[in-house]
Structure formats: structure tokens, C-alpha cells
Amino acid sequence: MNNLVISPEVKKALDENRPVVALESTIISHGMPYPQNVETALNVEKIVRDNGAIPATIAIISGKLTVGISPEEIDYLGKKGLEVTKASRRDIPILVSRKEDGATTVAATMLIAAMAGVKIFATGGIGGVHRGAETTMDISADLEELGNTNVAVVCAGAKSILDLGLTLEYLETKGVPVIGYETDELPAFYTRESGYKVNYRMDNPLEIAKALKAKEELDMKGGVVIANPIPHEYAMDSKLISKAIDDAILEANRLGIKGKDTTPFLLDKVQKITEGKSLAANIQLVYNNAKLAAQIASELCKL
Ligand code: PSU
Ligand code: MN
């Protein structure tokens, strides 16, 4: 396809059935401030390599769906920050036709990864059903994509800016398995616990790879959520973080923030309220996810 560009390194790895891990770019432009965003994105790529896989950071560059952007392009997206279009599924055709840039969300990254044949994707947190969705209808397109697109997403659960219970219900309806890595509980991004259970616990990357392989052989479409708790030493105090999140949501409601602006607004607000403590945790959990994703991708290639 003309508008899909796969870097030579990623293309070669895919052709040779070597492990590849997809990485998103909204987390760079809208999820963290500069320069930590660029630093983190480059370190994540290195961690994927150190664990035996090839990183494929995905973005839309001048209208091309690009799988494996360059370090210069990562720096460009990171510096431009909120000025880059946050690109979810619905934005893709417009950015392509206008030959514009876009930083891809979990939904858009999954879709483009699947076009390229990349099966594993690492990120921080997925979007989900927002608190108050019973009146706002604010449900991330990430969940629909998980219902439809054949890519497994390694994340640290979801932030409690979301309603985690409703997010799990939505995933259940869509038939998306939620696997806890070395845990029975759905992690809540900054904390290892949420009070909600995952569907299945698995304690090693091979077991996860086997489940993905079975799904592939059954030709079942749709994603899988692999929830990997933040390492103990970086987990945050749950009272501190839930107060910050409550305050951020109140502020968003007061200002009437809506649509695609909600999640970036809340992420930024929480980071400011916690004076960077949450940013440090965020960075570490992404590293942890990159490592697990590379391990699962490696096991999957051997099956
Ligand atoms: N949650 C995070 N960090 C992020 C995002 C979510 O902890 O950077 C980003 C991801 O790109 C995710 C998107 O796909 O926000 C979801 O946005 P929305 O809720 O508007 O669908
Ligand atoms: Mn939304």
C-alpha cells in the first residue's frame, strides 16, 4: 500500500520472522513534557533492542503511515508536543489526504501495526471508559480497536482518570482478554493494585506468547490486553495519586474540557499536581512494558 512506509530495519526483521515491538507516538507528543518525552522514547527503543527485538515507533509523517520513525522524527514530534495532531483512528484518512503529521494513539498505532504485520505493542496506559461516561459517552476509541484489531498491547493497566470497572466491562463485551502478568489484579498505572481482577494471570512471557499463537491459529480478530504492573520500587502512594486525579477531573469539568483534549489535559494536570513524581513513575512503567513486550515478541517468533 502506497501510504504505508516500513523502515528497512523493521521490514527486514518482519521478513525474517524476527521479533518486532510497535510503540506509539501520542505518548511522546501529548503524554509527557519535552525533553523527558524524547529521552523516554529513545530509551524505550534501546530497551526493546536490549531484550532482543526491533523497535517500531509509529507515527504519521507527511501523510505516510510510518512504521519505524527515525530518532530525528521522534525528536521533532517531542518538540512540537501538543501542536502535533493527536491521531486516533478517525483522523488517519484526513491526515493522509492532507499529507500532514500525526502522533498516533493506541487505537491508531494498533491499526497501523496490524497493516505492517507487527503483533506486539508496548505503551504506558490504554484509553478506556471515562468516569462519568454514563452522561458524557466518553469512551476511548482504543477499546473499539482492541475489539477489532489483531495486536496485543502491553500496558500498565489504565489510569484511574478512567472508570476501571466500566473499562473492564467494555473489554469483556468486545471479547478482549485481559491478562495480568505476575498478578491477579488489574494494575492502575501508577499503582500495582486497583481492586479489580484481570481475566487470567500468566507468570511468564512464553505462556502469553502461546495464548497469542492460539488466537492467531484460530483466526480470531481483536486485540489482547497484557497488564504489567509498575515495578514495586516506582509505585506511587495510592492516596496521593487518587487525590491528584480527583482534582484534575474536577478542573477538567470546571473548564468544560471535551473530546480528544480530555486525556492529554488530565495527564498534564496530574503531572503538575504531583510535581513530576508521577512523571518519574510513568517513565519507569513504560520501560518495564517495553521489556516484557520484547520478551513476548521473541517467544512468539519461536512458536
Ligand atoms: N493514557 C496514558 N498516557 C497516554 C495516553 C493515555 O496514560 O499517553 C494516550 C494514548 O495515546 C491513548 C490516548 O491511546 O491517550 C487515549 O486518548 P483518548 O482517551 O482521547 O482516546
Ligand atoms: Mn475520549
Residues 147 and 171 in one domain: yes
Q: Can you give the residue range of the structural domain that contains 48?
A: 1-118
Residue 25's CATH number = 3.40.1790.10
- Tens digit of pLDDT at every position of the chain (303 positions): 679 999 999 999 999 999 999 999 999 999 999 999 999 999 999 999 999 999 999 999 999 999 999 999 999 999 999 999 999 999 999 999 999 999 999 999 999 999 999 999 999 999 999 999 999 999 999 999 999 999 999 999 998 889 999 999 999 999 999 999 999 999 999 999 999 999 999 999 999 999 999 999 999 999 999 999 999 999 999 999 999 999 999 999 999 999 999 988 998 899 889 888 889 999 999 999 999 999 999 999 999
Q: Identify the residues whose C-beta falls under 6 Å from ligand 1.
A: 24, 26-27, 30-31, 88, 105-106, 124-125, 127, 140-142, 159, 260, 263, 267
Encode pLDDT of 247-273 as tens digits: 999 999 999 999 999 988 998 899 889
The reply to whether 206 and 249 lie within a common domain is: yes
Rounded distance, CA 164 to CA 186, Å?
9
100 shares its domain with 210: no
Q: Which ligand is nearest to the CA of 138?
A: 2
Residues 111 and 137 in one domain: no
Residues 290 and 230 reside in one and the same domain? yes
27 CA to middle of ligand 1, Å? Answer: 7
How many domains, the chain?
2
Catalytic: which of 24, 45, 145, 185? 24
Give the containing element (helix H, strand E) for 135: helix 133-136
Could you tell me the three cell numbers for 77?
A: 514530534
Q: Same domain, yes or no, for 139 and 220?
A: yes
- Interatomic CA distance for residues 211 and 185, integer angstroms: 19
Q: Quick one: 152 and 247 in the same domain?
A: yes
Q: Which of 11, 86, 119, 159 is catalytic?
A: 159
> pTM of the entire structure?
0.97
What pLDDT does 161 receive?
87
In whole angstroms, give the CA distance from residue 215 to residue 297.
15
Task: Please tell me whether residues 49 and 139 are part of one structural domain.
Answer: no
Q: Are residues 131 and 112 in the same domain?
A: no
Verify that 80 and 137 share a domain, yes or no: no
